[in-house]
Amino acid sequence: TAAVGLSCVWYNLEYMVCTWHPGENASSDTNYTLFYWFDGLKNHKKCSNYSMHQGIFGCTFNLSFPKGTNTYPAISILIRDDSEEIRPVCASKNPTTLVKPATPRRVTLAKINDEIHVEWSESDTFPENCLFYEVKYHNGDLDTAQIIKVILHYLQLTDFFFYVEKNYTSIPSIDPNSKYIFKVRAKPKPECYSSKLYSDWSEEKSIGEKIDSTFYFVLIITIPLIVAVSTIILLVYLKRLKILILPPIPDPREILKRMFGEQNEDSQVSKKL
């Protein structure tokens, strides 16, 4: 009957979300309650912001410590029900392993000479230099991402990401006729937190315009066709114009032949009469 599969995430050092599944033998009307406490907290606290989605229970509670805190106490969590039939479960969590940064906001792109300058907002809840960022980008003409990895002052090429410590970076040697798509996420530094959780990716931002090869293909076919049709129409028009301006001169031989032919016919008719 005890809650199973307890999992907690500490979002942006501000609040913690814990989820769990009901016990196999727990009744459908079981009303689990979550309590938490840690060293420095005078009394245990009861979580009051519950949710349930697809059979999974959840509860969210505020959890923050003063800025500059270097060590974090373990969080003890108790899940139980008022009924004695439900077995309670207690767990201790190291909060530094549960840290998940907020999604980087306000991602901006700018073209400067032959570079793309990428900048995003820094989190104001984390101590300085306790986050690094991953910037993923790719050329709109390619399916694979173009990646650079930057750690401190060392540059290392990788297959998928590049890492930077500041909240901006520049991408050199760009194709001016291509569209580039960027997104950013954050991760705690191991020297600050033991968490392996990344933030969610930021909303994709793009810069530049992708050249539509279909348009150029149609253009290459259409232009010669238009030129050929226009040439034919022009030749026909010029021929008719020439006839109007310079009508053909009759052949004198044909005129004489017709005249003498008519006289012969008249003579023959006269003889018969």
Q: Examine the domain organization and report whether 221 and 195 are in the same domain.
A: no
Region 247-262 average pLDDT: 63
Kindly state whether residue 180 falls inside one of the protein's structural domains: yes
Q: Which domain holds residue 116?
A: 105-207
The H or E element spanning position 223 is helix 213-245
Kindly state whether residue 199 falls inside one of the protein's structural domains: yes
pLDDT tens digits along 154-170: 334 455 555 544 677 78
User: How much is the pLDDT for 148?
Assistant: 47
Kindly state whether residue 258 falls inside one of the protein's structural domains: no
Q: Examine the domain organization and report whether 12 and 94 are in the same domain.
A: yes
Are the C-beta atoms of 98 and 148 separated by less than 8 Å? no
pLDDT tens digits along 87-105: 888 999 999 999 999 998 8
Between 75 and 243, the more confident residue is: 75
Domain containing 169 — which CATH number?
A: 2.60.40.10
Q: Examine the domain organization and report whether 134 and 179 are in the same domain.
A: yes
Between 82 and 16, the more confident residue is: 16
Q: Examine the domain organization and report whether 110 and 96 are in the same domain.
A: no
Minimum mean pLDDT range among 66-80, 101-115, 259-273:
259-273
Distance of CA 194 to the CA centre of its chain: 29
Kindly state whether residue 260 falls inside one of the protein's structural domains: no
pLDDT tens digits along 30-64: 888 999 999 888 888 999 998 888 888 999 999 98
Kindly state whether residue 261 falls inside one of the protein's structural domains: no
Could you give the number of structural domains in the chain?
3
User: How much is the pLDDT for 157?
Assistant: 44
Residue 80, both tokens: 């139980």
Q: Can you tell me whether residue 70 is helix, strand or coil? A: coil
Q: Examine the domain organization and report whether 191 and 238 are in the same domain.
A: no
Kindly state whether residue 85 falls inside one of the protein's structural domains: yes
pLDDT tens digits along 178-236: 888 888 888 898 988 999 999 999 998 888 775 555 655 566 777 877 877 777 887 77
Q: What span, in angstroms and rounded, lies between the C-alpha atoms of 119 and 109?
A: 7
Q: Examine the domain organization and report whether 179 and 235 are in the same domain.
A: no
Average pLDDT over the chain reads 78
Are the C-beta atoms of 32 and 22 separated by less than 8 Å? yes
pTM of this structure? 0.68
Assign residue 208 a region (left: φ > 0; alpha: ψ between -120 and 50; beta: otherwise): left
Kindly state whether residue 71 falls inside one of the protein's structural domains: yes
Q: Examine the domain organization and report whether 202 and 116 are in the same domain.
A: yes
Residue 16 banded pLDDT, cuts 50, 70, 90: very high
Read out DSSP for 31-65?
A: --EEEEE-TT-SS-EE--EEEEETTEEEEEEE---
pLDDT tens digits along 222-243: 787 787 777 788 777 766 766 6
